[in-house]
Chain A
């Protein structure tokens, strides 16, 4: 059974740093495209970042230069390193398996709140 379990969310001060983790089971992270998608409170979905099987990465303009997506193949885990967060980064962050551009499996989400 495919499962994605996020962790690492919480309260973070503007300008700080936080790393989100997504532990995958039932499939191999490195053999799939993996994404982070976020949703600000009461708002719509926003694609944050994607990592392809070959390791190339892409980011939304809103987080480029501040966030870094990566994976640990030995742990079958996806990460999102969030540096210099801003208030507008406050959201539920979903880990997502992305097959051919579609999200076919989602994690349960982890809430990140950026506030002083």
Chain B
């Protein structure tokens, strides 16, 4: 299975900050990477697919980049609604796998 490793596990930031979350794959996955946002007690929500394509309805302050084994999710200016847990997911291999998650907390 392809292992996905996110860093950091926890990130403390303030409204208005620019933040970046990194996701590394144990094998090359081209650009077959997605990012999801999850709030407590809710199902995850798709934000970005194919590494950098923004899902419809997702604010433009979210962006993704990367290819191969290293990827990033950037939020350009944090809003109060963005404090949540973020997961990357590879879909290169038919055994899809998620990263362990990054919890974005209010500083």
CB distance from A94 to the nearest CB of B (A): 6
Q: A61 vs B3: C-alpha distance in the bound complex, in angstroms?
A: 13
- Minimum CB distance partner of A94 in chain B: B43
Q: A106 vs B43: C-alpha distance in the bound complex, in angstroms?
A: 6
Q: Considering the complex, which residues of chain A in the window 84-109 have a beta carbon less than 8 Å from any beta carbon of chain B?
A: 94, 98, 100-104, 106-109
Q: Are B91 and A101 in contact (CB under 8 A)?
A: yes
Q: Mostly helix, strand, loop or mixed at chain B's interface? A: loop
Contact residues of A with B, CB < 8 Å? 35, 44-47, 50, 58, 60-61, 94, 98, 100-104, 106-109
Q: Are B95 and A58 in contact (CB under 8 A)?
A: yes
Q: Are A45 and B1 in contact (CB under 8 A)?
A: no
Q: A61 vs B32: C-alpha distance in the bound complex, in angstroms?
A: 22
User: Is B62 an interface residue, CB under 8 A from the partner?
Assistant: no
- Residues of B in contact (CB 8 Å), total 21
Contact of A47 among B32, B36, B96 (CB under 8 A): B96
- With A61-B1, A100-B91, A102-B91: A45-B98 Cβ-Cβ less than 8 Å: yes
- Minimum CB distance partner of A107 in chain B: B43
Q: Are B94 and A58 in contact (CB under 8 A)?
A: yes
